[in-house]
Amino acid sequence: MLDDNGAIYIFIHAPDPDRVGSYISELGFNAGVSVNIGMLLVKLDGGDGAAEKLIGMLNSNLFLHRRVNRAYICDSEEGSIDAAIRTLESRIGKDARIRLQVYPKSIEGGVIDAFDSHGVALDPSGFTHVAYIVSVDGRYFIGLYGRDMYFSKESQQEKQISRAYYKIAEAASRFGIQFSSSARVLDIGAAPGGWSQFLSERVALCVSVDPAKMEISKGNIKHIEKTFQEGIEEIRSYAPYDMIVCDANIDPRLVASFVSERPELLSDDCALLVTLKLKYKSGKSVQRVVDETSAILSKGFNILSMKKLLSNTRMEMTMYARKS
């Protein structure tokens, strides 16, 4: 699997490797799922700094960081666990303190015993280097890298906010949405307020429509405590809107109809960001809802993109459109 041209292979363990791999590929890396072990395998040129860039991104990118469990950096292959351990030991300097990252866990005990018996200093907290071993079908892929190349689940200090906040943050990043500080935004089905919180930090006014209680209160958030159908007159009083968003558990066709049938709510360049809640057992039913939602919107909007975000559940997709 590993060739001799100086390539580095990074194995990435994630609960949803396909979606994580799709995002990593969007960022310009060559990522594919290894069918043997269900992990992502990213091949990098060892001399161009790509490995450092990817590990840095895994540590700092909020959306990737939440979806990745471990990353193993390998640049050599051995045919046995004993050979893998000997090669790693030959690379470890006398003052190095080692943290082990081993896959699968079942071989970790033997590696620890071998290192310990040969005087290798293991220090999972104060380590200077990380030793990686990944076992796949009787082959052992290894690497030894400095602490700065370690992916840490503790490295990202996440704010204690709702999952919905992360979802709209990811959507904005991946769809390239730019927010104007003078913009007005309508948030349909806004409670408890994750999307409204994100929007209120970026725009002049967020009109949040939901009969339920909002968990956030800010001067530029106007809460209409009604359904979007019942609150139409109050919604109109703040129009036109530069963006309309919805992450509520509402049939997306209803939202599409509501927006399409009320052009007076829309600015000339109004954007639309909607989470499609697709809680249907049949794949045909899911596709029908997507197609019907798209057909309704096509009368007044251009659908720019539709993605399965890292922050989407298994039964969600996110649609981004703009007034045509």
**197-201, Cβ contacts within 8 angstroms, sequence gap of 24 or more:** 197/161, 197/162, 197/165, 198/165, 198/168, 198/169, 198/172, 199/168, 199/243, 199/245
Residue range(s) of every CATH 3.30.2130.30 domain in the chain:
7-149
- Segment 20-41 shows an average pLDDT of 84
- The answer to whether residue 1 scores a pLDDT higher than 80 is no
Give the model confidence (pLDDT) of 80-128 as tens digits: 999 999 999 999 998 999 999 999 999 999 999 999 999 999 999 999 9
On the question of pLDDT at 5 being above 80, the answer is no
Distance CA 77, CA 88 (A): 11
pLDDT at residue 264 tops 60: yes
Q: What stretch(es) of the chain map to CATH 3.40.50.150?
A: 163-323
Number of C-beta neighbours around residue 195 at 10 A? 28
Task: Specify the pLDDT at position 47.
Answer: 65
pLDDT for the residue 115: 94
Domain spanning 7-149: CATH 3.40.50.150: no
Question: Which CATH architecture group holds 163-323?
Answer: 3-Layer(aba) Sandwich (3.40)
- In the block, residue with structure tokens 């429509």: 209
Tokens of 307: 């993605």
In tens, the pLDDT along 178-232 reads 999 999 999 999 999 999 999 999 999 999 999 999 998 999 999 999 999 999 9
Residue 35 has pLDDT above 90, yes or no: no
Confidence of residue 30 (pLDDT cuts 50, 70, 90): confident
Q: What is the pLDDT of residues 135-165, one digit of tens each?
A: 998 899 999 999 999 998 875 544 445 789 9
CA distances (Å), 311 to each of 41, 96, 169, 228, 277, in order? 21, 39, 9, 25, 13
Tokens of 249: 């558990």
Q: Which amino acid is at 173?
A: S
pLDDT for the residue numbered 155: 52
CA distance 176 to 42: 25
Position 48 scores a pLDDT of 74
Computed over every residue of the chain, the mean pLDDT equals: 92
The predicted structure's pLDDT at residue 2: 52
With a CB cutoff of 8 Å and minimum separation 6, the contacts of 238 are 184, 186, 205, 207, 222
pLDDT at 275 (0 to 100): 97
Summarize pLDDT for 41-87 with one digit per residue, the tens. 998 876 678 899 999 999 988 889 889 999 999 999 999 999 999 99
Query: What pLDDT is recorded for position 46?
Result: 67
